[in-house]
Structure 1
């Protein structure tokens, strides 16, 4: 029986890994481990299909160590004993332990001495937060790395590689994957490369060649094999981006009905990750300090939607969209940080004032570090005038409040009062 395409295309060396360059790119932590042949146990956590198994396989292939895979939920102590015996007989074994968050105490106690000795290099894989779900005894003996959803260009690159690979891929089928089908395959699988490759293989193997011997894969075929409809079938293939844009602009424009319409289109497409990202951006970019409470409630609703999944996720999402659309709006904080970033990127920085510098080391006082710092909590109202910005930026004001709500107006009034008091008192000191 032939293995699925995603299995066959699994990388055998670290430079074949798609994405995750923050971990496996040249000079990054896992690259360095492989380069120095100084592997340590690790826990990889992130969404399904993002490369956890691929990283483990590539590490083993690059270091020439034996590679074994077990599942913490279904494999028992006996299987672990076999791997420990193999490590004793032939050297280090890289063990990918899937669903490591389900490792029970008996198996954990067996593994620990083998991890300590280095006989087994454990690579735990989980979709759960390891800081919450994994036993501290294992967690303390492993480095924890977050594996992130693949970018669309990463998924597209892997698909192209599979289409051109003669030995492991689909090159022998003479596939013509049409552009709109490629876009949907990449988009609909939300960075899950396993789903994308297996959906592609199903499409190819279930489609008859045309008169020219080509297997033509069009948009309807991909929609069927990944079981997700395109948001629109416009010829430019940009429909999903248009709907995402329209959702944010409708909320920004306070049109509840339009916002709910575009939300419904994204829900129908099953695109929960995009909805969550977009509403998180809206909450802070477009609502911001005009209504911090509704921004916080929106994030809570988004977290509830993530836990629930569809179809129930539509309920907290609808609540969030209605509140965000009807809320007062302000992008003042967003504009303020961009103004501050502009200064930094253009070299407008200056030295941190001496009284704000770190003074928690011997000899700091001799360097005048922190000597004249005034601790605000020692003063009435827990505030005292002192300069915080570097000298060359002493009078810079980044935040330009709009006063579009009672909350933002209250912030504005306090900001103006504090700014004026600080200006007046520092002027007197000079």
Structure 2
């Protein structure tokens, strides 16, 4: 408001007796360059895009630069939403604890507001940039969703159908189901996918980080055991 008042007082009226404050006058009065922060303009979405791509590409300094642009524009909602998307889309299974910590950082930033909220946001951005990356979660979900949207649903196996109603047993629903917790290691060989999709594989684990590498070993071990 002080800068606006200075601009108005230092700018003479034009031919129409109105004071026209140009971008150059505003920059001079505020003593800083105007930031491209129009939330409805293409430039805003370009910065958000560059922000995500910099984290995906593990460029910490670039990511912090674009975060700085978004913070300066005061767009905390876009920062928080995009950061959580990045955490689970681009880092995901390679480092799920980092994704969870990102949610904590976003919550802290929302509670703090700006400018203090920039502190937990910066911490999250640095960790995500330097973390191993994996998009196996989103690709697995999209492959499964593609099957569903293309009509490849198949019938739910009778053993998995709801058996909590009168007449279910007569229909054979749930009667052949084996309760995994009744078996050693809480696992028993059993088909869960529909017959038409019994060999489908949606999850293709990556081994960029120790977290997903361990999950990948267990995933392959269980798939082999179910096929034997």
TM-score, normalising length from structure 2?
0.84
Aligned-pair CA distance for 1:290? 0.3
Q: Could you say which residue in structure 2 is the equivalent of 1:346?
A: 150
Q: Could you say which residue in structure 2 is the equivalent of 1:406?
A: 210
* 1:387 correspondence with 2:191: yes
Aligned-pair CA distance for 1:237? 3.8
Aligned-pair CA distance for 1:317? 0.3
Deviation by residue 1:114-149 (Cα, 9 ceiling, x = unmatched) = xxxxxxxxxxxxxxxxxxxxxxxxxxxxxxxxxxxx
DSSP-derived class of the 1:322 partner: helix
CA distance in 2, matches of 1:279, 1:372: 45
Q: Would you tell me which structure has more strand in proportion to its own residues?
A: 1
List alignment gaps of at least 5 residues for structure 1: 1-207, 224-228, 425-430
Q: Would you tell me which structure has more helix in proportion to its own residues?
A: 2
Q: Could you say which residue in structure 2 is the equivalent of 1:358?
A: 162
Ranked by relative contact order (alpha carbons within 8 Å, sequence separation 6 or more), the top structure is: 2
Candidates 122, 129, 132, aligned match of 1:328: 132
Aligned-pair CA distance for 1:233? 7.7
Q: Could you say which residue in structure 2 is the equivalent of 1:261?
A: 65
CA contact (8 A) 2:37 2:44 kept: no
* 1:421 correspondence with 2:225: yes
Query: Residues 219 and 277 of structure 1: is their aligned pair in 2 closer, same or farther, counting only changes over 3 Å?
Result: farther
The alignment covers a number of residue pairs equal to: 205
Query: Residues 230 and 280 of structure 1: is their aligned pair in 2 closer, same or farther, counting only changes over 3 Å?
Result: farther
Deviation by residue 1:150-201 (Cα, 9 ceiling, x = unmatched) = xxxxxxxxxxxxxxxxxxxxxxxxxxxxxxxxxxxxxxxxxxxxxxxxxxxx
Query: Residues 358 and 264 of structure 1: is their aligned pair in 2 closer, same or farther, counting only changes over 3 Å?
Result: same
Aligned-pair CA distance for 1:272? 0.3
Query: Residues 210 and 252 of structure 1: is their aligned pair in 2 closer, same or farther, counting only changes over 3 Å?
Result: farther
Candidates 170, 179, 204, aligned match of 1:375: 179
* 1:317 correspondence with 2:127: no
CA distance in 1, matches of 2:194, 2:22: 57
CA contact (8 A) 1:356 1:370 kept: yes
List alignment gaps of at least 5 residues for structure 2: 1-12, 27-32
TM-score, normalising length from structure 1?
0.45
CA contact (8 A) 2:93 2:137 kept: yes
CA distance in 2, matches of 1:353, 1:415: 22
Query: Residues 361 and 230 of structure 1: is their aligned pair in 2 closer, same or farther, counting only changes over 3 Å?
Result: farther
CA distance in 1, matches of 2:226, 2:15: 77
CA distance in 2, matches of 1:340, 1:320: 30
